[in-house]
C-alpha cells in the first residue's frame, strides 16, 4: 500500500511536470507571451525541485532512522498524523521499531541496575573489564578498598599499585594471585581471583578482590596464642615441680644445718630425701634443656638444598631404613610406587626425614589394633597433573576432631614421650619445598598427604 501510494504520487508529479514543460514549449514557439513563459519556467524548476525532494525524502528519513539506531537514540519519532501521506505507514513502522528497541534498552538498563544492586551487596570487590582495560562493571567495595572515587579504566589503578595492575592483566582464567598494596600507612594483602568470559565477541575479565590481611592477622594471633599456651604448659610442667622441690630441699637443709650447729647427728633419711629431690631437679632441668634444644632446632631449620630426586628411589630407601623397625613392632608397611621417571626438586635428606616421621607416627598409632598396617601411596594428583601426591595412611583409631587443628602447632603432642615438633618440622620442610602437608582422619583411618610439584619432562 505504501509503495502504491508512492508510485501514484510520483506519476502525478511527472505528468504534471510534462504538461507544464509542453505548455512552456508551445508558448515559446507560437506566441510572444514571454512573461507567461517565464512564469511557466519557474513553475518547471519548482516542480523539478519538488520531485527530487519527494524522491529523496525516503532516503533522508531512512538515513536519519538508521543513524538514530546506530547511536542507540530510540527517542526519535516520525509524524504519522497525516492520513493522506504516502509515508504514513512507513513512519508508523519506524516508530514501532524505535519503541521496540526502546523497550529492549529499558529492560537491559533495568537488568543492569538490578545486577549492579546485587553486586553492591556483595562483601568483596568486583570489577569487570575488557581487554583494552575499559571497565564495564565495578562495585563500591572496590572503590572503597583502593580509595578511588571513580574508575573508567584499570590503568587508573596504576597510581594505587603497579603490581595490582600487572596481576589484573597477566592472571589467567580461574587463577589467583596475592598482591600487597600499600595505601598510605595501611597495608592490604589482596587475594585476586580472575574469571574470563566472551560476551558478544569481546573478551571480558571478571575479578574479585578480597583483603585477607585482617583474617591473616587474626589467624596469626590465634596461632601464637596456641603456641604460647603449649609453651606455657611445657614450661610450667617443668618449673613448678622444680620450684616446689627447691623449696623443700631448702627447708630440709636449713633444719639439718640447725641440728649440725646444735651438735646433733644428721638424719640420713633426710639427706636421702634431699639427694632424691636434687636428682629430680636435675632430671627436670635436663628436660627443660632438651625442650630448648628442640625449640632452637625448630626455629633454625636449615634452607633446603633442592636437587632432582626420583620419588620411587626415595621411597625404596625409606622402606629399607624402616623395614626392620616395622617388623619388630609387627606392623605391615605397604608401598605403592609411581612411575620410575617421576622426579621432584627436593632436599632428599629433609624429605626423607618427613616421610620417616610420618610413617613412624602411623606405626605408633596403629600398634593397638589387629593387623596394624601403614600404607604409602605415591601418584599424580587428579586435579593437578603437575603435582605428585604421597599419602601415608594407617589403620589406627584416628585423630579426635578437637585435636586435628592443633597437631601442627609446635610442642603440641598427645604422646607421653613426644616432643611435639615432628609435624611442625615436617610442615616447615614442605613449605620450603613449595609443597604442602594435609591430614584427614576418621575412626579406623588417618591419612597424611604430601604434595610436591614434579619436574617438567
In order, the DSSP letters of 212-244 are: -HHHHHHHHHHHHHHHHHHHHHHHHHHHHHHHH
In a domain, 115, yes or no: no
Please say which residue of 189, 211, 233 terminates a domain.
211
Q: If you compute the radius of gyration of the chain from its CA atoms, what whole number of angstroms results?
A: 45
Confidence (pLDDT) at 141: 86
223 and 258 housed in the same domain: yes
In this structure, the chain runs to a length of: 457
Last residue of a domain, one of 163, 196, 211: 211
Q: Are residues 313 and 295 in the same domain?
A: no
Both 321 and 287 in one domain: the answer is: no
CATH code assigned at 438: 3.30.565.10
In terms of pTM, does the model score above 0.75?
Answer: no
User: Distance (Å, rounded) from C-alpha 412 to C-alpha 407?
Assistant: 6
Domain shared by 405 and 320, yes or no: yes
- Regarding whether 404 and 334 lie in a shared domain, the answer is yes
Asked if the structure places residue 118 within a domain, the reply is no
Beta bridge mates, 189: 180
Identify any residues that bridge with 453 across adjacent strands, giving them in sequence order.
387
In terms of domains, do 404 and 279 share one? no
Spatial distance between the Cα atoms of 447 and 359, rounded to a whole number of angstroms:
10
Q: Is residue 249 part of a domain?
A: yes
- Distance (Å, whole) CA 67 – CA 61: 10
Please indicate, yes or no, whether residues 158 and 45 belong to a single structural domain of this protein.
no
pLDDT of residue 339: 75
Burial class (CB in 10 A: 0-12, 13-18, 19+), 107: exposed
Q: 268 and 292 in one domain?
A: yes
Q: What is the mean pLDDT of each run of 10 residues along the chain (457 residues)?
A: 63 85 82 81 85 72 70 66 58 73 77 72 84 87 86 89 89 87 78 86 87 70 66 66 75 76 73 76 69 59 78 86 84 84 86 87 86 90 78 90 76 62 80 86 90 78
- Domain identity same for 314 and 436: yes
Per-residue confidence (pLDDT) for residue 191, from 0 to 100: 87
Instruction: Tell me which long-range contacts 86-89 makes (C-beta under 8 A, separation of at least 24).
Output: 86/2, 86/5, 86/6, 86/8, 86/9, 87/2, 87/57, 87/58, 87/61, 88/2, 89/1, 89/2
Are 349 and 445 within one domain? Answer: yes
Task: State whether 319 and 405 are in the same domain.
Answer: yes
Does 228 reside within a domain? yes
- In whole angstroms, what is the distance from residue 367 CA to residue 386 CA? 35
Provide the number of structural domains found in the chain: 4
Q: With left for phi above 0 and alpha for psi between -120 and 50, is residue 411 left, alpha or beta?
A: left
Alpha carbon separation from 369 to 331, 333, 384, 394 (Å, rounded): 10, 15, 35, 10
Does residue 268 lie within any of the structural domains?
yes
In this structure, is residue 110 part of a structural domain?
Answer: no
Strands 373-380 and 387-394: antiparallel
For residue 227, count CB atoms less than 10 angstroms from its CB and return exposed for 0-12, middle for 13-18, buried for 19 or more.
Answer: middle
For residue 393, the model assigns a pLDDT of: 93
Residue 113 lies inside a defined structural domain of this protein: no
The rounded distance, in Å, linking the Cα atoms of 409 and 327 is 31
What range does the domain containing 384 cover?
307-453
pLDDT for position 394: 92
Instruction: Check residue 457 and give its pLDDT.
Output: 47
Last residue of a domain, one of 211, 229, 257: 211
127 and 9 within one domain: no
Q: Tell me whether strands 125-130 and 202-211 are parallel, antiparallel or unpaired.
A: antiparallel
Q: What is the CATH number of the domain that holds 194?
A: 3.30.450.20
pLDDT (0 to 100) of residue 373:
92
Locate the DSSP E strands across 13-110: none
Q: Specify if 440 maps to a domain.
A: yes
For cell 604442602, the residue is: 436
Amino acid at each position: 500500500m505504501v509503495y502504491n501510494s508512492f508510485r501514484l504520487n510520483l506519476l502525478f508529479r511527472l505528468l504534471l511536470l510534462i504538461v507544464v514543460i509542453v505548455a512552456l514549449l508551445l508558448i515559446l514557439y507560437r506566441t510572444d507571451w514571454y512573461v507567461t513563459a517565464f512564469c511557466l519556467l519557474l513553475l518547471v524548476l519548482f516542480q523539478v525541485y519538488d520531485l527530487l525532494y519527494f524522491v529523496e525524502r525516503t532516503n533522508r528519513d531512512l538515513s536519519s532512522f538508521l543513524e538514530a539506531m546506530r547511536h542507540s537514540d530510540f527517542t526519535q519519532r516520525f509524524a504519522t498524523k497525516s492520513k493522506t501521506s504516502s509515508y504514513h505507514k512507513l513512519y508508523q513502522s519506524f516508530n514501532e521499531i524505535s519503541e521496540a528497541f526502546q523497550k529492549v534498552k529499558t529492560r537491559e538498563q533495568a537488568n543492569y541496575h538490578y545486577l549492579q544492586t546485587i553486586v553492591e551487596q556483595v562483601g568483596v570487590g568486583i570489577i569487570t573489564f575488557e581487554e583494552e582495560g575499559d571497565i564495564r562493571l565495578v562495585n563500591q567495595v572496590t572503590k572503597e578498598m583502593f580509595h578511588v572515587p571513580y574508575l573508567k579504566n584499570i590503568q587508573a589503578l596504576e597510581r594505587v599499585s603497579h603490581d595490582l595492575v600487572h596481576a589484573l592483566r597477566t592472571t589467567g582464567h580461574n587463577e589467583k594471585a596475592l598482591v600487597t598494596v600499600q595505601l598510605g600507612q595501611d597495608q592490604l594483602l589482596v587475594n585476586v581471583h580472575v574469571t574470563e568470559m566472551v560476551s558478544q565477541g569481546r573478551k571480558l575479565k571478571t575479578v574479585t578482590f578480597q583483603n585477607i590481611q585482617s583474617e591473616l592477622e587474626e589467624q596469626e594471633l590465634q596461632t601464637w596464642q596456641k603456641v604460647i599456651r603449649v609453651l606455657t604448659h611445657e614450661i610450667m610442667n617443668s618449673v613448678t615441680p622444680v620450684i616446689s622441690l627447691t623449696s623443700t630441699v631448702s627447708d630440709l637443709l636449713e633444719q639439718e644445718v640447725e641440728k649440725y650447729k646444735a651438735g646433733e647427728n644428721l638424719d640420713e633419711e633426710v639427706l636421702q630425701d634431699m639427694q632424691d629431690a636434687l636428682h629430680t631437679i636435675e632430671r627436670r632441668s635436663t628436660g627443660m634443656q632438651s625442650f630448648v634444644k628442640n625449640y632452637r632446632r625448630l626455629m633454625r631449620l636449615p634452607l633446603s638444598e633442592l636437587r632432582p630426586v626420583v620419588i620411587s628411589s626415595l621411597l625404596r630407601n625409606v622402606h629399607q631404613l624402616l623395614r626392620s623397625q616395622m617388623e619388630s613392632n609387627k606392623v605391615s608397611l605397604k608401598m605403592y610406587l609411581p612411575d620410575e621417571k617421576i622426579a621432584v626438586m627436593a632436599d632428599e635428606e629433609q624429605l626423607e626425614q618427613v616421610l620417616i616421621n610420618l610413617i613412624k607416627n602411623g606405626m605408633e598409632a596403629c600398634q593397638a589394633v589387629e593387623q596394624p598396617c601403614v600404607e604409602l601411596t605415591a601418584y599424580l594428583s587428579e586435579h593437578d597433573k603437575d603435582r605428585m601426591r604421597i599419602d601415608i595412611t594407617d589403620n589406627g583409631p584416628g585423630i579426635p576432631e578437637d585435636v586435628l587443628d592443633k597437631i601442627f602447632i609446635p610442642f603440641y603432642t598427645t604422646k607421653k614421650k613426644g616432643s611435639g615438633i615432628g609435624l611442625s618440622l615436617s610442615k616447615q620442610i614442605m613449605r620450603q619445598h613449595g609443597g604442602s602437608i594435609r591430614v584427614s582422619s576418621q575412626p579406623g583411618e588417618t591419612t597424611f598427604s604430601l604434595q610436591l610439584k614434579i619436574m617438567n619432562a
